[in-house]
Structure formats: C-alpha cells, structure tokens
A and B are shown apart, each in its own frame.
Chain A
Amino acid sequence: MPSGAVAKRLLLLAAVVMAALLIAGFVVGAIGSKMFGGADPFLAQPEIHLPPQPVFPFSAAAKSLGIKPETEHPSPAAAEAEADHPPAGEAAEHAEDEHHFTPLGATEFAVTNTLLSAWLASIAIILFFVLGARKRAMVPGRFQGVVESVMEAVMNFATGVLGAEMARKVFPVVATIFFFVLFNAWIALFLVPLYQAVGLGSGAWWNTQIQIHLVRPAGTDLNMPLALALISFVFVEYWGIRTLGLGYFKKFFAFGKLFRLKPSGLIDAFVGILELISELVRVVSFTFRLFGNMTAGEILVVMITFLVPFVANVFVFGLELLVGLIQAVIFAGLTLVFLSLAVHHEEH
C-alpha cells in the first residue's frame, strides 16, 4: 500500500486519466463525431436483438445470420477476410442494414449465447457456494464467512416474511432463485470483455461488428425469466396445496354462498375469479419485469458505449449492479410474499 502522499498523487493521476478518457470518448463517440463532423464513430452502431442467438452448433448460428457455410468462422481473422473481400463485405453490410437476423423457431433447439451465460453463472454460483461450504469450519474463515453471511441475509429475509419454520423449508428454492437472478445479472458486468467483445461478426479485426456474442446475460432471454416465473408459480401453488389441502382452491372458486342462493355469493364468485386471474398473471409480470430490466440494462450499456466510449459506462455499470441486486431481491421477495399469501390465506 503506498503511503499517503504517493497514494494521493496516484489518485489524482487516475482522475486525470479518467477525465481525459471521458473527453476522448465524447469526441470520438457517436455524439462527438456528429458534432465535430465527418469521421465515423469509434464503434459501429450496435444491433439490438431481443431473441437469444444460437452459438452452438455453428450451423445454427450461421443459419440465423443467413451466412453461407463457407464464411462461417467465429474468428476475427475470418471477419477481416470477409471485410477485405469486397462483394462479401458489401453483402454483409447490406445484410446488416436489413437486420437479417432470424431467431430460432419456437421448437428449434440450439445452445444460445444466453443459455451459455446461464451455465457460466451456474458454475460461478456452484463454485462460490461449494468452495464456501467445503471446510464447514466451526470458526469460519473469511471466505466461508462471506458465503455464510450472504446466506444468512437471504434466510433473514425469508424469516421476516414467513417466520422461521416456514423460511427454513422454502429456503433452498428461494435462495437458488435469488442467486440465479443475481449472478446472471452480475456476471456480464464482472466479465465485460467476454460479454462485449467475443463473438461472431463482420468488419475489420479491430472494429468487428459483432452480430452474435458468444455469451449474453441470460436475463435478456425471455425464456430464462419465464422458466424462473414458472418455477416460482409452481412452488407457490405446491405450498398452498400442501398446507391447506384442497381448501386452497376455495380462494379461486368461491361458489359456496352462490349455491346457498345468497346474493353476496355473486361478489365472492367474482372476487374468486379475479384472484385466479391475478395468480396466473403473476407469471407474466414476473417474466417481463426481469426480462425488461435486464434487457434495458444491456441495451443501455451498449448504447452508452456507442455514444461515449471508454469510461462513461462506469456509472451505468454501477447502476446495473444495483438493478441486478434489486431484481434478485424482488424476484425472491415476491416469491416469499406469494408463498405467505398462499399459506395463510384463511385469515384474509
């Protein structure tokens, strides 16, 4: 650790470099190049694709890009060769203008960049926890302490909503949801080069227009939030039925009073149907909340990088770290709240 005066000088130097990079980024970025005329922006305009893109097998990737099998090479050298070759380059540019990317069909299977990212995140989670749990020391070391305190935070959160006994039972699923969302959101921020600069594309090697990134945060793939939403939904219904038996469905099909010909039975029946609808709509809201937040974050990162390259993104990254945490808390928290509603609904 450098001493006070040296540290201060280093800090000042870093600040100057940051400011210089910010200004340089502004000048060479999309905004600056338009303002000061002429030159192309430092980075090509990014393409935004909502559907996930296949990366394995390569044939699926090539097919979705509409590239002929000969030019299908994921290396920058291939991209360069493509760019040097005028007709192919023109064709590629033409294709770019048309946004020719064709998503997978609804039942076609290929390993997409988002699925790959989800696996990467899963491995990261497993490493984090299994390494943390490896020694199981009575007096935890630093790393075990971190892992335990993170778990304890989630456990306390669950206990606050459901009470200690119930929290204990649902903890594994809720915690897995929490960490799955969190790691999937954060992994793209911690592994920026992998997530932003590796992929299949066209253009010069130093400025390849990446059309298919090798990995892309799984939250930006609608299927991942949908899968989590379904898991959360099934889990909640399971606990509702397990705790209250068939009586659980009385909440949705409240026809008891109607059969006894009481007029207020109509209201009950109607409320029951509303409950049913809101229960089902949760899946949709879960899905699109996470999908929207993650996708918006990713687009924001890409666009800011395009508009002002280099360091302006630091602020966006800070924001995205927060958004990832918040989404994880919301997903796990809403699951907990719905669980508590499903388990205790007799009271209301």
Chain B
Amino acid sequence: MGLTELGINLPLLIAYLVTFVILLAILYQFAFKPLLAAMDQRTARIQEGLSAADRARDEAASSQAAIEEQLNEARREGQRLMDQAREASQRYREGEMERARQEAEAFAERARADIQRERDAALEQLRASFGDLAITAAERVIERSLDRQAHEELIAQVLAEGETWRRG
C-alpha cells in the first residue's frame, strides 16, 4: 500500500497550503484585526468608564470628608467663640463686681473717715465748750459763792446745760 493509496498528493498538499494562507490573510485583514481592535477599544472604553466612576466616587467621598471637616471646624470655631464670650462676660462680671465692691468699700471707708472726723470735731468742740462751761460755771460760782445751796444748784444747772448741749 503506497502513499497514493492513502491519498498523498503533492499538488493537493500545496493547494491546501495556499488555501490556508489565503484564508489566514483574509481573516487577518478583514476580521481579526478590526474585531480585535474594536474589542480592545471597547475594553479601554469600559476601563476608562470604570476608572472615571471610581474617580468620581473618590472625589465625592473626599468632598464629603472635606465638608464634614469644614462643618467640624465651624462647630469647633463656634464653640470656641462661645467659650470666649462666656469667659469674657465672666471676667467682665467679676471685674465689675470687684470694682463695685471696691467702690462700696471706698465709700464706706470714706464715710467712716467722715464720721471719725465729725466725731473728732464734735469732741473738740465739746472740749472747747466744756472749757467755756467751766469758765461760766466758775464765774457763776464766784458770783454766788456765798450760798452753798446756790452753789450746788449752780453745778447741777451747769451739768444739765452740759447735758443738753451734749445731746443737742
């Protein structure tokens, strides 16, 4: 059984080779190249879309975070301002109270000093008046030295005068 019995035939072999090569060329040119390019393009497009979506999501998340941050910042700022204001008002109140107390104290002090002075002046006056009284009394005593009873009355009178004076 020779090879021809199996059907080996050189021209046919060449014909198949040529057929295959032509088929390959046509498929490559008109099918594989354009289709692979289209598929690649689609892959790229989809990838692009996906990454754009990713980016958008990231951006949204980051802007969300930024807004959150800003809100927190504002909240903190507000808190700080309020604290500051409260502290300032506290300080102010304390200062005012201190001042009022000092004023009151100064006023009281002044009043006390006035009273002291008045009293001193009164005492001085009294002392001076007593001198006059004593002199007056002595004059009277000398005028009425004869009468013991009158003497005593005189003293009582002077004292009573002193008493009323002191009261008055």
Contact = CB atoms under 8 A, between A and B. Distances in A.
Interface of A: 50-52, 103-109, 112, 114-115, 118-119, 122, 125-126, 129-130, 132-133, 136-138, 147-148, 151-152, 168, 171-173, 175-176, 179-180, 218, 221-224, 226-228, 230-231
Given A171-B32, A173-B24, A224-B16, A136 B38 contact: yes
Contacts, number: 131
Given A148-B39, A227-B20, A222 B8 contact: yes
Report, as a range, how many residues of chain B touch the other chain. Answer: 20 to 34
17 contacts: A51-B4, A51-B7, A103-B7, A108-B11, A118-B19, A126-B30, A129-B30, A130-B26, A171-B32, A176-B23, A176-B24, A218-B16, A222-B6, A223-B7, A223-B15, A227-B13, A227-B16
Nearest to A171: B32
Interface in B86-102: none
B146 interface: no
Interface in B34-52: 34-39, 41-42, 45
Given A148-B39, A224-B16, 16 more contacts: A108-B11, A109-B12, A115-B12, A129-B35, A136-B35, A138-B45, A147-B31, A151-B35, A152-B39, A171-B36, A172-B32, A173-B24, A179-B27, A180-B23, A223-B8, A226-B13
B142 interface: no
Contacts of B3: 106
A223 B10 CA distance: 8
A249 to B, nearest CB: 25
B23 A222 contact: no
Contacts of B15: 109, 115, 223
A148 B40 CA distance: 11
B5 interface: yes
Given A126-B26, A138-B38, A105 B20 contact: no
